[in-house]
Amino acid sequence: MRSLLAMFFACAVIATAVAETMFQDVLIEGVPHVKQKPDFCGEACVEMWARKLKKHIPQDAVFNASGVDPLLGRGCYAPELGKTLKQLGFNIGDGWLRIDPAQTEADLARCWRGLYADLAKGISSIVCMIPDENVESIGHFRLILGYKAASDEVVYHEPAESNGAYRRMKRDKFMKLWPLGNETVIRFRLEPRDVKDAPAFDGFTSADYCQRAMEERTRANGQKFFYVIQPPFVVIGDQGEEPVRFYADGTVRWAVDRLKQDYFKKDPAGVIAIWLFGNKESYEKNTRKLFGQAPTTPFGFYTGQSRALIMNIATGGGTLVHEIVHPFMASNFPGCPSWFNEGMGSLYEQAGERDGHIIGLTNWRLAGLQETIKNGKLPSFENLLKMNPHQFYEEDRGANYAQARYLCYYLQEKDLLVKYYRAFVEAREKDPSGYDTLKTILDEKDMDAFQKRWEEYVLGLRFP
């Protein structure tokens, strides 16, 4: 018995030694490389291999298929990626390979033989590795594509870098980084069984919201906020769940639905974050801390650079609706002049509903405007409409906003505003100020006479 056992082990050792010398060059060629989006390393590996298989499964689609909550702001962890791969039609094998700490070397060698055997058959694998100097993450996925015998190197696609195709790593190093902890090795075989193209999608998907949440969570740097998705926005607040849901489900959804109904066919270019700070102190402190700037108004503002609406929500939801107009205007009306951008934004900062459509109501800007009219200090509409951004924002800003707002209000009350918006967008190349379009829509040749009529109309308005 003893000698039999001894013989068995001896054979096993010889077999291993023979196997070790049997590794030869193997390489799966022609696998396109894809640079991952932040934390989508596993997702990008799947896309690369899918491309090799002539299937269309972008990294975003992999994340979308995973069902991972986008607001967590991270890509798939290994269990989620394994499940998703099966769902996408791959035979992933065991996925989890247990290692017995008592015989780590032998178990690892077995894992390697399995990986190598698949490569020899033309089947790549995604492995999860301990991050090294190149990557910051908990576990990093790489796509393994070959082995170089002469230099004893593993060949792989590195998703984290744009020039990461067909990288090489000494097998020694690979074997050190492969086990996660001292009991687990993760390898997903990518043998296609029934792989299909990902479904086409319109607008923003989970992956877009996830990337945006990730960005904002990074910005928050451990500070605790509450996150909610309200398409096409991620709404974030510092006062816990209730107020965030209140504004997301209420003001934001209400305004977006109605603005889209009458004006905006396209969503903003990317997912925009709406930050709701619950009071003046938090608004001022966090605008500085998270965005590195001072608030430009006490109520809130839109920063295109950070793609964020930053609000002191204690001042109410009016400014929120005002600011929501701007990113939509940017994507639907490129080159929109300041007067119309701010006229429309400020029209809806005091908003209501009529026959299912959003309308602006008279508001606090009225009194100042009436005063300016009485003093005879208002510019002509031609001047207002042809102001460049500097003139509009820096010279008599308050009066300009008010005049623009109540021109929009007048058009709204004459049932001409939606018509004007559409005609203006259409004519924007040859009429960048909108002045000629205004004359056409008003059917008015004498704009001095119109201004007189409009001024009388405004003087007759009341707020509150």
Give the other-Cβ count within 10 Å of 368's Cβ. 13
Contact between residue 367 and residue 374 where contact means Cβ atoms under 8 Å apart:
no
Phi, psi (deg, nearest 5) at residue 38: -50, 125
Q: Smallest distance, Å, CB 37 to Zn ion?
A: 31
441 touches 411 (CB < 8 A): yes
Q: How far is the CB of 160 from Zn ion (least distance, A)?
A: 39
Residue with the CB atom nearest Zn ion in the bound state: 345
Write down the least CB distance from residue 401 to Zn ion, Å: 8
Q: Torsions phi, psi of 153, nearest 5?
A: -120, 145
SS3 (DSSP) at 101 = helix
Least distance to Zn ion, CB of residue 209, Å: 25
Whichever of 230 and 319 has its CB closer to Zn ion, that residue is: 319
Whichever of 33 and 258 has its CB closer to Zn ion, that residue is 258
Q: Cα(123)–Cα(421) distance, rounded to whole angstroms? A: 57
Report if residue 360 touches Zn ion, rule: CB under 5 A. no
Taking the complex as a whole, the smallest distance from the CB of residue 299 to Zn ion amounts, in Å, to 10
Sign of CA dihedral 439, 440, 443, 446: positive
Using the minimum distance from each CB to Zn ion, give the nearer residue, 145 or 329. Answer: 329
Considering only residues 89-128, where is the footprint of Zn ion by CB under 5 A?
A: none
Burial of 164 (0-12, 13-18, 19+ CB in 10 A): buried
The footprint of Zn ion on this chain (CB under 5 A) covers a number of residues equal to 2
Three-state helix/strand/coil letters over 233-282: EEEEECCCHHHHHHHHHHHHHHHHHHHHHHCCCCCCCCCEEEEEECCHHH
Query: Rounded CA gap, 96 and 111, in Å?
Result: 10
Of the pair 342, 455, the CB lying nearest Zn ion is at: 342
The residue (of 89 and 316) whose beta carbon lies closer to Zn ion is: 316
- Least distance from Zn ion to the Cβ atom of residue 349, Å: 8
Q: How far apart (Å, rounded) are the C-alpha atoms in residues 377 and 75? A: 58
Nearest distance in Å: CB 262, Zn ion: 18
* Sign of CA pseudo-dihedral 62, 65, 70, 72: negative
The whole-angstrom separation of Cα 58 and Cα 50 is 8
Task: Say how far apart CA 199 and CA 210 lie, in whole Å.
Answer: 19
**Least Å from the CB of residue 345 to Zn ion:** 4
Longest dimension (CA), the chain: 115
Binding mask of the shown chain, residues 325 to 344, with x at each position contacting Zn ion by CB under 5 A: -----------------x--
In degrees and rounded to multiples of 5, residue 346 shows phi and psi of -75, -25
State which residue, 142 or 326, has the beta carbon closest to Zn ion. 326
Looking at the Cβ atoms of 225 and 275, the one nearer to Zn ion is: 275
Residue 90 or 340 with smaller CB distance to Zn ion: 340
Q: Please tell me the distance from the alpha carbon of residue 204 to that of residue 270, in angstroms, as a whole number.
A: 8
CB of 302 to Zn ion, least distance (A): 7
| For Zn ion, the closer CB: 337 or 345 | 345
Q: Which of 345, 360, 379, 434 binds Zn ion (CB under 5 A)?
A: 345
Binding site for Zn ion (CB under 5 A): 342, 345
